[in-house]
Amino acid sequence: MLDRLAGTPSSLDEINRAVPDLEPQIRNKMDGDSLENSFTRTNNASSGRVHAHPYGQITVLGMGSWGTALAMVAATAGRDVRLWGRRNQLSEAVNATRINAEYLPDVPLHDRIMVTSDLAKALEGSEAVLIVTPSLTLRQVCASIRPHLPKGIPLALCCKGIERGTGFLLSHLVSEELPGHPVGALSGPTFAKETALGHPTAATIAFPFSYQDRLDPAKSPAARLAVSMSSAAFRPYVSDDLVGVEIGGAVKNVIAIACGMMTGAGFAENTRAALITRGIDEMKFLAEALGGRRETVTGLSGAGDLTLTCSSMTSRNMSLGVQLGKGIPRSECFDGRDVVVEGEVNAVSVVDLAHRIRVSMPICEAVHSILYEGADLGKAFSDLWARPIESEPRALDIELAHPTTLLRETL
Which active-site residues does the annotation give?
Answer: 252
> Contact 224/69 with Cβ under 8 angstroms?
no
Number of CB atoms found within 10 A of residue 152's CB: 8
Query: Do 222 and 207 contact (CB within 8 A), yes or no?
Result: yes
CA pair distance 140, 239, nearest whole angstrom = 28
CB atoms within 10 A of CB 77: 21
Count how many Cα atoms sit within 13 Å of the Cα of residue 71 in the half-sphere of its side chain. 32
State the Cα–Cα distance between residues 223 and 205, nearest whole angstrom. Answer: 8
Helix/strand/coil (H, E, C) string of the chain?
A: CCHHHCCCCCCHHHHHHHCCCCCHHHHCCCCCCCHHHHHHHHHHHHCCCCCCCCCCEEEEECCCHHHHHHHHHHHHCCCEEEEECCCHHHHHHHHHHCEECCCEEEEECCCCEEEECCHHHHHCCCCEEEECCCHHHHHHHHHHHHHHCCCCCCEEECCCCECCCCCCEHHHHHHHHCCCCCEEEEECCCCHHHHHCCCCEEEEEECCCCHHHHHCHHHCHHHHHHHHHCCCCEEEEEECCHHHHHHHHHHHHHHHHHHHHHHHCCCCHHHHHHHHHHHHHHHHHHHHHCCCCHHHHCCHHHHHHHHHHCCCCCCHHHHHHHHHHCCCCHHHHHHHCCCCCHHHHHHHHHHHHHHHCCCCCHHHHHHHHHHHCCCCHHHHHHHHHCCCEECCCHHHCCEECCHHHHHHHHC
Gap between the Cα atoms of 219 and 53, Å rounded: 7
